[in-house]
Structures are given as structure tokens and as C-alpha cells.
Amino acid sequence: MILVLGNFLLNRVESGLLDAKVQAALAEAATGAVTAQDAFDSADRTDPTVYETLVPDLVKRLATAGGPAGANEVALLRGPAVTAADAPLGVSSFEVSREAVPPVLRTGVRQSGKQLWTYGRLTRAGVSVPAITIGSPVVIPTVPGGYELYFVFPLDKEQATLALVRQTLAVAALGLVLLVGGIAWLVTRQVVTPVRMAARIAERLAAGRLEERMRVRGEDDLARLAASFNKMATSLQRQIRQLEDLSRVQRRFVSDVSHELRTPLTTVRMAADVLHEARSDFDPAVQRSAEILQAQLDRFEALLGDLLEISRHDAGAAVLEAEPTDLRQIAERVIEAAEPLAERRGSRVELIAPTSNCTADVDSRRVERVLRNLIVNAIEHGEGAPIEVHLAGDEAAVAVAVRDHGVGLSPGEAAMVFNRFWRADPARARTTGGTGLGLSIAIEDVHLHGGWLQAWGEPGDGSQFRLTLPRHQGTELSGSPIPLEPLDSRRRRRPVTVGEPYRRVVAAEPRETR
């Protein structure tokens, strides 16, 4: 806008200066032409030499007369019909050139017989400046043909004025830009600074620094925003601390109850073992009761163990004892231990592992517990279909995927299976134990390794759980050697391949990573 306004003002000033100069120059040239014609008409015609003196004096007087239009140059030029023999007159106060007196102007003056003007250029001291050239026809008595009187008004002063105006406008525009920029910066800072402060404080709140607050200044909208933000932060802080206190009490309760139940459970276990060993001496009803008591004590003991493990994770007391371990050996042990359960459910477990190294720095006890949970869950939910356990590795990570072809997972359930005590179908009968904490403990163990535990499933197409662990502790995972969605899923349109028994270890080709 400043550039457009400056151009407009400069054009208006230039137009005004030129219009004033042209009007003044036309009036002065018309007066000079009348003066010259009167001088020629009143000259003594009997003296043949009178014009030789009169013309130079007249041209000099007209050139030095001056007027509202300023200094000018004058030239009296003879027409093409006037020969040097008839009248050797042609006087000027400057060096006449085609730029100063354009030929087109001379032709127009001769043909129209009236005053005409145009823009030209006048050379002074080797410097060419723009000028206004005005021509008028004059008649010298006793001289045949015709003469033309030209006034040349240089525009050097107007050019200097325009240069000064242009420079002034440039300085003013620069100053105005700086002023507007400074004002805009101040206004923007007044608006943006509180917003940036709110963003920084929000980041600190998200990082756990719940005591952070915004400074409230004034009573404008930004001050009201800061006050509202502080109220929101105070409310969040109070609620988060209430939730933390409640969670702390719950964890403490679970931990205390788990430890307190250990002692009576041990006593009950000892008594139940005695009854179980002597069950052959009892009648059938008491014998069955002793067996049921033994089974339920096993489940109760497993639940207490899981609760204690969860409480250790919640308290941050879980310790990782990592050492280089071959995951193939862990998988083989888990599959072998789960073989009786698989046979009872009519399933078959197959281990598909590469011939390359699958060693990683892991806590073998925790990884074995994770795989046991995944494989037992796959057998229990596999509806008697084959179970595949895939192993793969690359330079940065190793992965184990447990694939079943059972009921699968509904949309949204893949993100919920790791919640504590969550079950896809609470009404479904279970033939094996389970505390509802297995996958919750598994994902805590995996996070302790810095790894991933992810689930995929489709209704009627089974599910796949993928465990990904870094080869070396402290490194961050960027991908997994095994895709989360199995290659035999319906969407991929790949057939399901039923493998050999789990004891056969098949070399697996590298597969896509996702």
C-alpha cells in the first residue's frame, strides 16, 4: 500500500509540475511570438540591413527576458522555401538539434500555421535534459516564404524537484514501513506473547509440573483467558492428585492384601495338600471336594502372584536382569510346557524360526512369562485350530508372533486386551484358569525391556500378538521384523498353511516390516 500510494503521489506531483510548466511556457511563447511579429512589422522596410541587426537583438532579448516559465532558449529558423540568397537569416541562442527541435514539430507548425508544442531534449554543457519545445510561425515583411520561432524551455529544475520529491517519498515510505512494522510488532507481541506463554505452561503441565500458572495482567480478554487457564490448571491439578492418591491407596491395598494373604494361604495349602494326598481314603463326594479345593488353591495362588507382580510394576520396583538369550530356546520350552493343554483343546502348535541368530539381551524369566501368556491365550481362544509361533530378527530387533485362527477380535478390542481384568466375552465359559492380569503383566514386562507388544484380530479370522524386543538394551525400536497383520489374513488373501508339530523348526524367509 505504501508503494502504491507513493507511486500515485509521485505521478500526481509530476503531472502537476508538467501541466503548470506547459501552461506557463505556452503563454510565454505566445507573448514572445506576438512581440517578435510586432517588431518585424514596425521595422524600417526601406533599410535592407535592418533585419540583420534586429533579428539577433530580438532573439537575444526573447531568450533573456525570462518569465513564469523560467529560462528558455530561442531559435528563429527559416522555412524550406526561404533561400540563403533571399534572406540569409536563421538565428538561435543555442545549438539547434533534431532532439531540441524535432522535425515533426517543424512540419506541423508550417502546415497548421499556428502554435504547437512537444517534448524534446536540450543539451547544455554536454548534459542532455528534457525540455518543452514550442513553435509558432512568424512573417518577416519583404522576405518571401516563412519563418518559425521556437522557444525551448528546459525541465532541469522540474527534474531536480521530482528527484527531491522521489527521495523524500522514499525516505518517508521507509520510515512509515518501519513505524508500521514496529507498531505491528508491538501489537502482535501483546497478543502472541500470552498465547506462547500459555503454550509453554501447557507443555509444562503435560510434563507433570502441575504447579505452573499464567500471570494475569489487566482486565482485557487475554487477562480473562489467563485467569480461566489458571482455574483449569488448578482443577486439573486437584483432580490428578486425587486420582494419584486413590491409585496409590489402591496399589498399597493390593500389595498389602497380597502379602497378608500369603500366610493364611500357605496354611490352607498345607492342609489342602494333606487332604489331597489322602483323598483315596475318603468317600467320592469328599474326594471330589479335595480335588476342587486343590485346583482353586492353585488359581488363588496364581492370582496372588499376579497381583504381587503388578504391584511391583506399579511401584517401579520391577528389576530387569537382562543377559544375551536365544529366544528360540525360550519359545521351545514354552511350547513344550503348553503341549498337554493344546492336546486337550485339539490344537497343534508349530514353531517357525529362522536359521539366523535370534539372540537378544532380555530377562529370560519375564520373556518366558510373556510367551506363556500369549501361547496359552492362543490355545484357549483358538477353537482347536492350529497355532503358529513365528520368530524373526534383523540387525536391531527380534520378534515373536503368536497366530491363532479362532474367534478373533472385534474392532477396537486390540487396544483393550492389555487392560487389567478385561475379557472380550465375560459370559464365555473357561476351561483353564486365568486371572485377567496375564496380558497386563506381559505388556509391563515388555515395556521394561523397551519393546512392543501389539495385537491384531478380525472376527472369525483369528488374531495375532506380536512381541518385538531390541537386540541390545537402551536402543530404541523403529520397526519390527514381523508384520503385525499376518500374511494369511483374509485381507491379504493368503491361504492358511497348517504346519508340522512344534518340534520341527522351519527356516523362515524375511518378511515385510510394519
Confidence at residue 55, expressed as pLDDT on a 0 to 100 scale = 84
CATH number at residue 386: 3.30.565.10
- Single residue among 314, 337, 371 that ends a domain in this structure: 314
- Same domain (yes/no): 341, 256: no
In a domain, 171, yes or no: no
* Residue that is last in its domain, among 117, 136, 164: 164
Q: Which amino acid is at 195?
A: V
pLDDT of residue 143: 73
Write down which residue in 164, 194, 212 finishes a domain. Answer: 164
Distance, CA of 71 to CA of 121 (rounded, Å): 15
Q: How far is CA 466 from CA 371, 454, 486, in A?
A: 10, 5, 10
Calpha distance 472→465 (Å, rounded): 22
In a domain, 210, yes or no: no
In a domain, 466, yes or no: yes
The pLDDT, as a whole number, for residue 85 is: 52
Between the CA of residue 316 and those of 117, 241, 344, 373, 460, what are the distances in Å? 99, 18, 39, 22, 39
User: What is the β-pairing status of strands 452-457 and 73-78?
Assistant: unpaired
- Asked if the structure places residue 381 within a domain, the reply is yes
Any domain includes 487:
no
Query: Distance between CA atoms of 215 and 213, rounded to whole angstroms?
Result: 7
Same domain, 428 and 310: no
Whether residue 309 is found in the same domain as residue 286: yes
Contacts of 383 (CB under 8 A, 6+ apart): 405, 406, 407
Which has the closest alpha carbon to 327: 275, 418, 402? 402
Grid cell digits, residue 339: 503341549
CA atoms in the 13 A half-sphere facing the CB of 27:
10
Q: Is residue 202 part of a domain?
A: no
Predicted pLDDT of residue 500: 34
Distances (CA, A) of 491 to 166, 293, 461: 73, 47, 10
Look at the block and give the residue holding cell 512381541: 467
Q: 484358569: which residue's cell?
A: 433
| Cα distances (Å, whole numbers) of residue 508 to 83, 285, 389 | 115, 53, 11
H-helix or E-strand spanning residue 376: helix 364-381
The region, left, alpha or beta by phi > 0 then psi within -120 to 50, assigned to residue 78 is beta
Angstrom CA distances, 6 to 9, 28, 76, 165, stand at 5, 33, 42, 10
Confidence (pLDDT) at 435: 60
**CB of 29 closer than 8 Å to CB of 151:** yes
**Residues ≥6 apart with Cβ < 8 Å to 479:** 394, 396, 397, 513, 514
- Please tell me whether residues 73 and 103 are part of one structural domain: yes
The pLDDT value given to residue 478 = 87
Q: 85 lies in which domain range?
A: 2-164
332, 459: one domain: yes
246 & 266 share domain: yes
Q: What pLDDT is attached to residue 401?
A: 93
Query: Residue 508: inside a domain, yes or no?
Result: no
pLDDT value, residue 402 = 93
Query: And the C-alpha cell for 387?
Result: 497355532
Q: What is the pTM of this model?
A: 0.49
Residue 293's CATH number: 1.10.287.130
Contact 493, 486 (CB under 8 A): no
Per the structure, the count of domains in the chain is 3
Judgement on whether residues 143 and 267 belong to the same structural domain of the protein:
no
Q: Are residues 308 and 450 in the same domain?
A: no
Q: In this structure, are 249 and 275 located in the same domain?
A: yes
Query: Three-state DSSP class for 153?
Result: strand
Nearest Cα residue to 72 out of 38, 37, 32, 126? 32
Task: Supply the Cα-derived Rg of the chain in whole angstroms.
Answer: 53
State whether 357 and 432 are in the same domain.
Answer: yes
Q: State the maximum Cα–Cα separation within the chain, in Å, rounded to a whole number.
A: 176
From residue 470, alpha-carbon distances to 259, 377, 445, 480 in Å are 34, 24, 13, 9
At 56, which CATH number? 3.30.450.20
pLDDT of residue 509: 37
Helix (H, G, I), strand (E, B) or coil at 288: helix
Residue 434 and residue 369 share a domain: yes
Contacts of 395 (CB under 8 A, 6+ apart): 471
Query: Tens of pLDDT along the chain (514 residues)?
Result: 888 998 999 899 999 999 999 999 999 999 999 999 998 888 877 776 777 788 888 888 888 887 777 778 899 888 777 665 555 557 888 888 889 999 999 999 988 989 999 999 998 878 889 999 999 999 888 777 778 999 999 998 888 999 999 999 999 999 999 999 999 988 888 778 778 888 888 888 888 787 888 888 777 777 888 888 888 888 888 888 888 787 777 777 766 776 777 778 788 878 888 888 888 888 888 888 888 888 888 777 777 777 777 777 766 767 788 899 889 989 999 999 889 888 988 888 999 888 777 889 988 888 998 998 899 989 988 888 899 999 998 888 999 999 998 888 887 787 788 887 776 555 444 444 456 778 888 888 888 888 999 999 888 888 999 999 998 888 888 888 889 888 877 776 544 443 333 333 333 333 343 3
The answer to the question of residue 45 being in a domain is: yes
Residues 412 and 464 in one domain: yes
